[in-house]
Amino acid sequence: MPQPSSDFDFASVLRDGDHVIWPQGTGEPCGLSSTLIAAAPGLPAFTLVVGMIASRTLAGVQAGNPDFLCLNGAGGARKGVALSKGRVIPAHISAIPGLIDTGRVPVDVALIRVRPTEDPGVLSLGVMVDFVHEMVTNARVVIAEIDERMPLTRDDALIDRSRITHFTVADGPQCQLGDPIPSDVDVAVAQRVAEIIPDRATIQIGVGGLPVAVCAALKGHRDLGIHSGVIPDCAVDLIESGVVTNAYKGSDAGLTVTGGLFGTDRLNRFAHENRSIVLRRATYTHAAATLAGLHRFHTVNSAIEIDLTGQINAEIAGGRYVGAVGGQVDYVRAGRQSEGGRSIIAMASTTPDGKHSKIVAELGDRPVTTARSDVDLVVTEYGVADLWGLDLRARSKALIGIAHPDFRDRLTRSLAERPQPKTLVQRASR
């Protein structure tokens, strides 16, 4: 019988300089991860390779060990635990499997969650697939936490038992993500988003208050499909109500395709042995070739801020990293390139306290997560700015038009005062 996760001796497997990784979000094996962090001061120096963190595991990190290498996302990292302490790799989700396979992102020890199937030689990853196979394939040591609380999912969620080096029994809490209650602004923005999305569209959604509001706003739609990096609890509402049928996706007809279940027991129970919920690897969910085959693909993403030329910062707020590149650009480009599709950047016009506009004159030294050449539709509670094909000045005016009224004059003045670079024609005429 495998030992409990809290009893695992990491000193017996860790080597100095090792890179340790576990799956993102709900895929975190919390018994193993909390044991590792508690033992870290007495272990050989190691680097923790982290994606989106949804637990409080890293709240107990002490100075010195581990170091952090950050791939994606925020979650618990919003509190400055990992992203503020570590080194951030700016990479699209579609690139991460290749980075692991080529060793550019080293993986020595992988901690994962599994549950048994009817075949003793095969296990299920349950709630998270995205780049877990690459972790397992490239790790020297794979430690699996057996957790039968997870749903039994198949397809890319299945993994050979022979790949596991050590087994433990889950004795920590499950990492789950409940749907937050949307704000009034979220609801207003979501209503505008829903007006853009036609019946029979395929949608990509994320997690958070705004995606929850978007799901609610789509309740009157018909024959939608879902293809998304992750899905939250509210996706169940759309499927059970018949809004999502996946009948007109262009590929994967009848199937909700996702890389992970970012929800609670409600979503997990719905996905358990449900062959219409398909978990696939990031090499499929975020691949340009896959996304090109989706009909009327409407992608919904967000931003910390967007400047008047359309450049998006989705990484730094208040001088601190709260996220990384993630899958935004993969899906922004896919929505624009899909036949009948659109890419939607949906956000509140101001920060929650109302003191700062999220439409800004310029990003300054903040990063450009998504280039202005990729941005399509931008939605706030004040309207929709269709930037596709607009020149720089026209798109600035369109963005000012959906900014909060308290900031529009200031943005207009900044636009008027901004030096305009000379065009090639103007230069040639001198």
Render 4-39 in DSSP notation, one character per residue: EGGG--GGGT--TTEEEE--SGGG--HHHHHHHHHH
pLDDT for 106 equals 97
Q: Quote the CA–CA distance of 9 and 153 in Å, as a whole number.
A: 30
At residue 424, the pLDDT reads 47
Locate all alpha helices (DSSP H) within 321-370, ordered by sequence: 328-337
Query: CATH fold of 184-415, please?
Result: Glutaconate Coenzyme A-transferase (3.40.1080)
- Domain spanning 3-169, CATH class: alpha beta
Say if residues 11 and 116 touch (Cβ distance below 8 Å): no
From the number of C-beta atoms within 10 Å of its C-beta (0-12, 13-18, 19+), residue 162 rates as: exposed
Asked whether 315 and 321 are in contact (CB, 8 A), the reply is: yes
Each residue's pLDDT, cut to its tens digit, for the chain (430 residues) gives: 799 999 999 999 999 999 999 999 999 999 999 999 999 999 999 999 999 888 989 886 876 789 999 987 555 444 445 555 678 899 999 999 999 999 999 999 999 999 999 999 999 999 999 999 999 999 999 999 999 999 999 999 999 999 999 999 999 999 999 999 999 999 999 999 999 999 999 999 989 999 999 999 999 999 999 999 999 999 999 999 999 999 999 999 999 999 999 999 999 999 999 999 999 999 999 999 999 999 999 999 999 999 999 999 999 888 888 777 889 999 999 999 999 999 999 999 999 999 999 999 999 999 999 999 999 999 999 999 999 999 999 999 999 999 999 999 999 999 988 776 665 445 555 5
* Domain spans in the chain, listed from the N-terminal domain onward: 3-169, 184-415
Angle (nearest 5°) at CA 243 between 299 and 197: 35
Q: What is the sign, positive or negative, of the torsion defined by CA atoms of 333, 334, 340, 343?
A: negative
**Quick one: which of 179, 177, 311, 173 has its CA closest to 238?**
179
CB neighbours (10 Å) of residue 245? 18
Whether the domain at 3-169 and the domain at 184-415 fall into the same CATH topology: yes
Residue 40 in tokens: 């870290």
